[in-house]
Amino acid sequence: MSRLVVISNRVPVPTPGVPPAGGLAVALSGAMEARGGLWFGWSGAKLPPGESEPSEPKITTADGVTYAVIDLSERDLDEYYAGFSNRMLWPLFHYRMELTEFTRISLSGYHRVNRLFAQRLAPMLKPDDVIWVHDYHLIPMAAELRAMGFRNRMGFFLHIPFPPPDVLTALPNHADVVRSLAAYDVVGFQTPSDVENFETYVRRERVGRRLPDGRFVAHGRAVTVEAFPVGIETDAFAAVAAASNRNALVRRVRDSLGDRKLIIGVDRLDYSKGIAQRIQAYETFLLLDPEWRGRCVYLQITPKSREEVPEYAAMEREVAELAGRVNGAYSELDWTPLRYVNRTVGRNALAGLYRQAAVGVVTPLRDGMNLVAKEYVAAQDPENPGALLLSRFAGAAAELDGALMTNPYDVDGTAGALARALDMSVEERRERWSAMFERIRDYDVTWWRETFLEALERDDEAPPSTGRM
Ligand code: ADP
């Protein structure tokens, strides 16, 4: 089996004594342990001002996997990371054209860092390495490596949505982006509708077509473009949740609730997550369903993120203000309706809190997948599972049809759905939950990794047969 090389913006370099982050990082490093592997990317550290990038990456080895990382300069990070990746691609790919900021400077920084990655990685690559590139920060990676002469199998997985052509074409360099995707052998998206968006783009912009064997030919290269919905470590997460009554934080939260029902939301503070709309829906619910006042608590756990990007600071103020308004209007001396908490919670405690919650609210305005939805399902008690309130605009909605679906732009509708979730009979909750749990157990993160790698290692060099339709 050839060695697996993973390239991603951040690299989960293992630290002795610190438990691994879990999920995706464990799944990918697990595959690399079995076959030998190299994980390359940014260290997470900034170079001191005035210092230039060293020519050798920093290397760590653990369990047969080599982690190679480079520091980036402040300017690189401003342009490549905070700039083109997070102020152009992130908002645009989440359908938020009004939040984008395109500059030639940030675009050239994006390409410069992608080239730097390719140059630093190149001396470490072997001809039969299988290369798997992750996410929107690194779309041009295969094109850079191919320009340097590498002919390896190369795959790309986009963790965020791929927008429809009317949105994508607002990106001034959309043609280059799609040409860069065509430099891979496999392009993986989260959902079939992302694949559909790609197909519509390719057809409308006349840059390619679907081949009879299902692949696409675009910019003169045959590429497999398929949906590989990312999963979680379902069994492991369920086991952690089942053992969570031993967790002190979980016990404290349970004691603080008394017999009130818990509603839980867990999201990075990001405008794609619909947190403001969700708090408004809760406010409407308290207004319209007064019998629930004093009988439920909504816990929204939201660590701050990307504080260097201005749009995030604005949203932080908006959400904090809304949270204050709801509590100001409805709090009693002995009851706070909303606990809004800007911090991260460890995996064990998080699993336990999900399990405590009668309702999980996952209402992004747009999300590539949303792993919180899957974690909430995995963590439930099979005898008395909670109800999942899920936005139709999360990638996970394509799989979790046992959820109560909601349109987060419809605040009144979401408020009504929340009341319905709280009132749902245990029979209905069990039925909905079993269907969802079965799905995420069959399609877990190992399934995702193996299916992607199979597609990437499939030998489809042979010209597609013309007889099949
Ligand atoms: P995104 O990747 O856009 O942040 P996902 O829902 O796909 O959204 O994944 C988020 C991941 O981060 C999940 O695994 C979730 O458990 C974790 N997470 C989110 N908020 C917190 C928090 N407050 N504490 C700990 N983990 C969190």
Any atom of ligand 1 within 6 Å of the Cβ of 371: yes
The alpha carbon of 170 and the centre of ligand 1 are apart by a number of angstroms equal to: 29
Left, alpha or beta for 44 (phi > 0: left; psi -120 to 50: alpha)? left
Which residue, chain included where needed, has tokens 């199979």? 454
Among 76, 135, 267, 367, the one annotated catalytic: 367
Nearest CA to ligand 1 atom 21: 344
* Ligand 1 atom nearest to 230, measured from its CA: 7
Q: At 341, which helix (H) or strand (E)? A: strand 338-341
* Ligand 1 atom nearest to 346, measured from its CA: 25
Average pLDDT over every residue of 309-317: 92
The more confident residue out of 71 and 20 is: 71
Among 159, 174, 219, 289, the one annotated catalytic: 159
The closest alpha carbon to 233, from 4, 46, 386, 443, belongs to 443
The alpha carbon of 467 and the centre of ligand 1 are apart by a number of angstroms equal to: 46
Residues 6 or more apart in contact with residue 328 via CB below 8 angstroms: none
The whole-angstrom separation of Cα 94 and Cα 73 is 27
The pLDDT tens digits for 323-352 are: 999 999 999 999 999 999 999 999 999 999
Which residue among 267, 339, 340, 388 is best mutated to probe the pocket of ligand 1, counting the most ligand atoms within 8 A of its Cβ? 267
Prediction ipTM score:
0.99
Any atom of ligand 1 within 6 Å of the Cβ of 362: no
Any atom of ligand 1 within 6 Å of the Cβ of 369: yes
Nearest CA to ligand 1 atom 9: 371
| Sign of torsion over alpha carbons 76, 79, 83, 85 | negative
Identify whether the C-beta of residue 297 lies closer than 8 Å to the C-beta of residue 327: no
Which residue, chain included where needed, has tokens 């052509």? 165
The alpha carbon of 267 and the centre of ligand 1 are apart by a number of angstroms equal to: 6
Residue 367 is a catalytic residue: yes
Confidence at 466, pLDDT banded by 50, 70, 90: very low
Residue 368, both tokens: 């590539």
Residue 426, both tokens: 């245990």
Nearest CA to ligand 1 atom 16: 372
Question: Taking 90 as the threshold, does the pLDDT of residue 374 lie above it?
Answer: yes
- What pTM does this model have? 0.96
The pLDDT tens digits for 132-180 are: 999 999 999 999 999 999 999 999 999 999 999 999 999 999 999 999 9
Any atom of ligand 1 within 6 Å of the Cβ of 306: no
Determine the pLDDT at residue 405: 98
Determine the pLDDT at residue 462: 47
Determine the pLDDT at residue 50: 85
Residue 168, both tokens: 């994508």
Determine the pLDDT at residue 26: 86
Determine the pLDDT at residue 155: 98
Question: Taking 90 as the threshold, does the pLDDT of residue 98 lie above it?
Answer: yes
Any atom of ligand 1 within 6 Å of the Cβ of 372: yes
The pLDDT tens digits for 220-258 are: 899 999 999 999 999 999 999 999 999 999 999 999 999
- The HSE-up count of residue 274 (CA atoms within 13 Å, CB side) is 28
